Structure 1
Amino acid sequence: MDLEIRHLRIICAIAGTGSLTRAAAALGLSQPGLSAQLRRIETVLGGPLFERTPAGAVPTAFGETVLSRARAVLPTIDELLSASALAAAQGGGPSRRFRLGSVNAPLLGGLITALRTHHPGARIVSRDQGSSVPLVDDIAHGRLEAAVVGDSPGYELRARPGVVLHPVVTEPLFVALPAGHPLAARPEVTLDELADEDWASPRPDDDRHREYWSTTFLATGHRMRTVHEAEGRLLLELVRGGHAVSLCQATFEEVPGIAVRPIAGTPLWYRHLLAWHRDGPLAPLGPVLVHHAAQAHRAASTRNPAYRRWLRDHPGEPAA
């Protein structure tokens, strides 16, 4: 078997989701089928790429080496494929394709809905990204047509030539607690009450969210003691298991074992934005995309009882 582009996407999907099951779902494959493909890929490359642990699939040292190459190669391949597709479309070839990106936020569905309404024949593909900065770079270099991104007050995303960053909505950050935590019985908690907690937080990235959180805590005379660096399901399991608390977007939906509560005084905020290229194919639809993204956020805000109560007590929020 020869190594193919799709094999590189499989490797990156497993690393990105941290799970063969979630990677299979994202790629539209069965879990056994994906496992079999991974075994063949590892045979071709000459070694195991992932270690299977109770927390999920973790890259081996060899796997990290392969991933660094795959992540460097795939954007160039995507750009080549996009240019080829555009040239074919201009010559009467295949229909248009829109490439979307998103950080962890509830707006992507609204963006896809808007595109399907205005371009019913288009092929729409998407991918997630932990940080907003690479997504903005991808739009600047023509690797994406639009993206859902976000930033923090005082740590706004840096503008890139040709990239439009349009605010959609600003929402508070809440705290996710183990359901059995004493503070979970409170309607809201204070930063003082959270000062001695162990925290689970995503790894620091170019968005500087961790820096914003830590600075906010320091301004109150406390230190945010992050003892677990995790995201996604692993972060949730750490909270659910009572090992840590974590910050979350106000639209985060409570799941069994986890309670979401506002922080008194609303000291922490998160701003959702849409990004597209000023000269790109979606520029004429910019206001429409923002409208649908805002609708998606409003729908998400109704699914969290804590956020519904917060909005009731803070008329006029969230604000673009």
Structure 2
Amino acid sequence: MELEIRHLRVICAVAESGSLTRAAKSLRLSQPGLTAQLRRIETMLGGALFERVPQGVRPTAFGELVLARARAVLPAVDDLVFGLRAPAQHRTLRIGTVNAPLLAGLVSWLDAAHPDARVTTVTRGASTRLVELVEAAQLELAVVGDCPGFELAARPGVVLRPVVIEPVFAMMAVGHPLAAKPEVTLGDLAAEDWIVPPPDDDRIREYWATVLRDAGLAMRVRHEVEGPVLVDLVLAGLGVSLCQATSRQSPGLAIRPIVGTPLWYRHLLAWHRDGPFAAGGAEVVENARRAHGEASRRNDAYPAWLARGADRPLEGNGP
């Protein structure tokens, strides 16, 4: 394990809140998950960063030293990513995104709707970080996401607007026995090895595990990877995973609905209350929904699921 920027943010969040419970809530982590992560960071750095007190926790002497360095480094990192840009001839609309299928269509509309602006994009692995950047006016707009029961927390100055909620599907190699079924059950999936992304601040993996646990099942995690590597392992037949219903169909990949549609993912837009999208947010949301509708045809499974008129947990939020 190597020290990463996100670890510094965890240390600062714990120090600022003075409580593991409050820090876990702000980071959208479970308290046991945050405690385990903090222990790994302390093991990596070679010393205790916090000590327990009646009111919560406070930094140790070593922790104060690490905090001083972290608080010096983090603003410089943000400036490097967002602040040190060559002067532009046109105003810039900075768009942040997680793994959003609607991004390309939305950016195309923004280019056409704002010909006087230069639209740029950046990606981050967690929606929580993107919302923070919107709040800090380092992004004008962000495409983010969450799951039922694990919704993004409201932040001062940030408007969060739902775009669409879509089901979570299963994916496996076309040669996998489950690929022969038009739909799979959670029980089918629980009997297989899983390939999943590492836990992150969005708590999506925790949501998956919670839904299975409530059904009396568990994920048998064999590989913990993300991005193209995850898809490569699925294509190699080394396990199953979950994906957004709008995931792109790759050769050799089978995407299947889950019986009863027990898992959902919600796309949202975030912008600053005083930013350039404050007045025209409704139009942006409408065009994001249109872009999602276009993306819904990226595989065969989702259009078929939509044609059946399957129930959705949020009425009117379909593409």
Normalising by the residue count of structure 2, what TM-score does the alignment of the two structures yield?
0.72
Provide, for residues 190-232 of structure 1, a one-character-per-residue CA deviation record: whole Å limited to 9, x for no partner: 0111112111111111111111100100111111122211111
2:303 matched residue in structure 1:
308
Q: 1:260 aligns to what?
A: 255
In the alignment, which residue of structure 2 is the partner of 1:90?
Answer: none
Which residue of 2 is the match for residue 76 of structure 1?
79
- Across the aligned residues of Structure 1 and Structure 2, the Cα RMSD in angstroms comes to 2.3
CA distance in 1, matches of 2:108, 2:82: 24
Partner of 2:50: none
Preserved contact between residue 151 and residue 272 of structure 1 (Cα < 8 Å): yes
Tell me the CA shift for residue 106 of structure 1. Answer: 1.0
Name the residue aligned to 1:21: none
In 2 relative to 1, CA 228–77 (structure 1 residues): closer, same or farther, beyond 3 Å? same
Helix, strand or coil: the match of 1:205? Answer: coil
Secondary structure in 1 aligned to 2:280? helix
**Are residues 1:293 and 2:288 paired?**
yes
1:236-273 deviations in whole A, cap 9, x for unaligned?
Answer: 01100011111000001221111000000000000000
Which letter maps to 1:76?
D
Matched, 1:247 2:242: yes
Of the candidates 96, 100, 103, which is equivalent to residue 108 of structure 1?
Answer: 103
Report what 1:142 is aligned to.
137
**Partner Cα separation in structure 2 for residue 154 and residue 255 of structure 1:** 31
Partner SS state of residue 157, structure 1: coil
How far apart are 1:314 and its partner, in Å?
Answer: 2.1
Alignment of 1:39-188 (within 5 A): 73-81=76-84, 94-188=89-183
Q: Secondary structure at the match of 2:171?
A: strand
Cα shift at 1:70:
8.3
* 2:188 aligned residue (186, 189, 193): 193
* Conserved 8 A contact 1:78-1:143: no
Residues 111 and 292 in structure 1, CA contact (< 8 A), matched pair in contact too:
yes
Sequence identity, in percent? Answer: 52
Counterpart-to-counterpart distance in 2, 1:279 and 1:236: 40
Question: Is the 1:79–1:143 contact (alpha carbons within 8 Å) kept by the matching residues of 2?
Answer: yes
CA–CA distance in structure 2, aligned partners of residues 278 and 215 of structure 1: 34
Q: Which runs of 5+ in 2 are unaligned?
A: 6-71
AA in 2 matched with 1:138: L
Q: Which amino acid aligns with 2:186?
A: L
Aligned residues: 246
AA aligned opposite 1:287: A
